[in-house]
Amino acid sequence: MSRAEALINLDAIRGNVATLKRATPAEVMAVVKADGYGHGLLPVARAALAGGATWLGTAIIDEALLLRAAGIQVPILAWLWSPSESVAVAGAIRAGVDLSVSSTWALDTVLAAARDGGQRANVHLKIDTGLSRNGAYIDDWPDLVAAAAKAETGGEIAAVGVWSHFAYADDPGHPTVARQLERFREGVALAERAGLRPRLRHLANSAATLTNPDTHFDLVRPGIAVYGLSPVPTQGNFDLVPAMSLRAEAALAKRVQPGEGVSYGHVYHTAAATTLVLVPLGYADGIPRHAGNRAPVQIGGTRFRISGRVCMDQFVIDVGDQAVVAGDTVVLFGSGRDGEPTAQDWADAADTIHYEIVTRVGPRVPRRYVGTAG
C-alpha cells in the first residue's frame, strides 16, 4: 500500500448487480455517474455489466462519452445537460448515447443537433412527479410530449423512454411514493394519448428496486446499491456487499504527555500520557472536516475515534497505550466484516449520507482494484 488507497472489490460490484437483477424482471441500468460514485467509472461499468446490467446511466454527457471511448457499446443514458452544451449533445447523438429531455428548449436542441448530423436521436422524456428537480412540470408535460410525438413522426427522434425520479423512496411507506407513482402512470398515459409508445418506462432507484415491485415497470436504475451500500439502512443490507475500503498508512506515531492540545484549535486534549498516530488523509482527500472528534477508524483490530480537527492533508488518532508504529494500516471504513467501521458509520458521525462518504474520496487517493470482474 502507498500512503493511502481506496481498495475496490469489483467482484462485490458484480455480485451486487446480480442481487439487484434477481429482485426484478425489468432490465437493470447501473448508474455509474460521478466516476462510479467514486469507485472508478470504467472498472465499475464493466463489473456491473458482468453482473447483468444491460444499461448504464451517467449524469453528464462527458461521462457517457468516456464509456463509449473505452469501447463500451451497451445503451447509455445521460440526463443532466444545459443550454450551452449543444456541441456535447451533438457528440452524444453521434456516439449513440440516449439523452434525457425535460423541456421544449432541450428537445429543440436535440432536434437541431440531429438535423445537423443527419442522425436520429434517442431521447427519454422526463416528467417531474414530485421531486421538483429535473423533469417537465405536469403543466408543461402535454406540450413536451406533443412536440416529441411530432418529431418522432418526422423521424428526427425516437422517444425510447419516459421516466421520473423519487423524492422519498428510501422511506418506502412515505405518502409521496404512492403519489409519485400515480403521477408517473398519468404522465405515461398522456404521452401515449399524444401518440408516443415508449419502450421503456423507468422510475425505480435503488430503494424502490429493493422494496417496491410496483415501481419497476420496464427498467430500474439502481445507483448506491450497485456499490453495496443499503438504500434503506433501517431495513438492513439486502445482501449487498460494500465495494470500497478506505485505508492509509500511519505516517507517524509518538508519545506525548497529558494535557497536550491536538490539531487546530485544540478542540481535543490528551487525558493522560498517550500515543498519537498521524493519518495522512484530510479534507483535500474527501475526509469530512466536521468528522473531527467523532468519526471512527480501526488500527490493529481496535476502533478509535479521530482526535481533534481534520486538516487538509491529515488527522490524528489518540490510541492510548496500544502499540502502533509508522507504517501500520489505519482502516477508515470498509465492509464491516472484520469489525472495521463502515461508510454508514462515517455518515452517522458526519451527519450526512453514505453516498457522500464514498463519492467524495478525492483523486489524490489511488484506487486499487481486486477481483476478476471489470
Give the CA distances from residue 145 to residues 132, 133, 164, 188, in Å, rounded to whole numbers and listed in that order. 19, 19, 14, 10
Q: Which residues 6+ apart lie within 8 Å of 362 measured at CB? A: 284, 285, 286
Nearest to 76 by CA among 90, 101, 48, 95: 95
Find cell 490528551 and name the residue. 270
Find cell 434503506 and name the residue. 232
End-to-end CA distance of the chain: 21
Catalytic site residue from 37, 126, 264, 355: 264
Question: Is 168 designated active site?
Answer: no
CA dihedral 251, 5, 301, 322 (to 10 degrees): 0
Q: Give the whole-angstrom CA distance, residue 232 versus residue 210.
A: 9
Contact 201, 125 (CB under 8 A): no
Catalytic site residue from 33, 37, 227, 355: 33
Question: Is 264 designated active site?
Answer: yes
The secondary structure element, H or E, covering residue 98 is strand 98-101
Grid cell of 271 as nine digits: 487525558
Catalytic residues: 33, 264
